[in-house]
């Protein structure tokens, strides 16, 4: 394997990006080196490209962009046992410190020291990306790469829908961008699961309606990270710190919210997804 790779980087504190040849990341004892197979462009990446006010206050060039991706494991550190070379994976790109008060209480999604791969350190718009093994999510090899690369926004949709009581309700999704469209699909899926899941799991006896968060929720609902679809860092498409958990490991959470008919009316505002965005 070559010692260098191509990467799409924010090199200067100005509008634009550049493709550069950079060293392949060194892997530590607890790291995984992933060969990127597919990556998707988030609205945050567009903000960074345009060098708007939020980007100017957050991004410290030079840095390789990209936080929505999938790939195969190239090699692992000496202490890594959960995955091995050739495994198909994606990753949670919010890296918490593990030592602060919030992390010690199990609330790593609000860690004040969180760093985001592709925002605060080199990301996945490159041939290879280095990820802590604790943040790696192994994927089913049957999942198409084009889906594996968008688990981050799908996780946001899952947690947004499951954050409230949906079963038996009529819901309006305003703003049918990617996450808005995914939110509609997730909510429709809750209705379809009504006759599939065990009623004891779906809802308390005689209730007919389940806790919207579901049993499989990875405590990712309402998490807001660095991404900003409005330019001020409030929220955005990378909001959920448990996004891949929501998309890959949260089938039980989806089951937990089923139990009633759900109807949808979808309105498009400005093409941006406003569902659960806090805008």
- Which is catalytic among the residues 29, 47, 64, 174? 47
Torsion, CA 260, CA 258, CA 194, CA 246, rounded to 10: 140
Structure tokens at 205: 């006896």
Angle between helices 178-192 and 151-162 (to 10 degrees): 60
Active-site residue, 47 included: yes
Residue 53 to residues 99, 131, 155: CA-CA distances in angstroms?
31, 28, 27
Residue 61 to residues 4, 20, 40, 185, 225: CA-CA distances in angstroms?
19, 13, 21, 38, 20
> 235, 94, 251, 67: which is closest to 162 by C-alpha?
251
Structure tokens at 94: 């919010």
- Which is catalytic among the residues 4, 29, 44, 134? 44
Active-site residue, 44 included: yes
Torsion, CA 117, CA 7, CA 12, CA 54, rounded to 10: -30
Instruction: Supply the residues annotated as catalytic.
Output: 44, 47
């Amino acid at each position: 394997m070559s010692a260098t790779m191509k990467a799409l980087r924010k090199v200067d504190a100005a509008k634009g990006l550049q493709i550069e040849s950079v060293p392949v990341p060194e892997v530590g004892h607890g790291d995984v080196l992933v060969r990127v197979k597919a990556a998707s462009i988030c609205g945050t990446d567009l903000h960074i490209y345009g060098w708007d006010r939020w980007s100017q206050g957050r991004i410290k060039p030079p840095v390789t962009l990209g936080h929505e991706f999938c790939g195969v494991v190239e090699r692992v550190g000496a202490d890594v046992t959960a995955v091995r070379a050739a495994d198909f994976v994606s990753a949670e790109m919010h890296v918490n410190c593990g030592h602060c008060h919030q992390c010690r209480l199990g609330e790593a999604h609000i860690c004040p020291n969180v760093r985001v791969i592709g925002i605060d350190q080199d990301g996945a718009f490159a041939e290879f990306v280095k990820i802590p093994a604790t943040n790696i999510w192994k994927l089913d090899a049957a999942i198409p790469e084009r889906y594996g690369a968008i688990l981050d926004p799908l996780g946001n949709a899952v947690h947004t829908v499951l954050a409230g009581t949906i079963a038996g309700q009529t819901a309006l999704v305003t703003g049918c961008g990617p996450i808005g469209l995914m939110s509609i699909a997730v909510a429709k899926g809750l209705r379809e699961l009504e006759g599939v899941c065990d009623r004891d799991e779906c809802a308390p006896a005689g209730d007919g309606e389940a806790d919207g968060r579901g049993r499989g929720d990875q405590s990712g609902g309402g998490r807001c990270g660095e991404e900003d679809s409005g330019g001020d860092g409030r929220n955005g498409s990378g909001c959920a710190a448990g996004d891949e958990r929501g998309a890959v490991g949260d089938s039980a959470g989806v089951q937990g919210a089923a139990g009633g008919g759900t109807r949808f009316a979808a309105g498009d505002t400005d093409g941006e997804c406003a569902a659960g965005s806090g805008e």
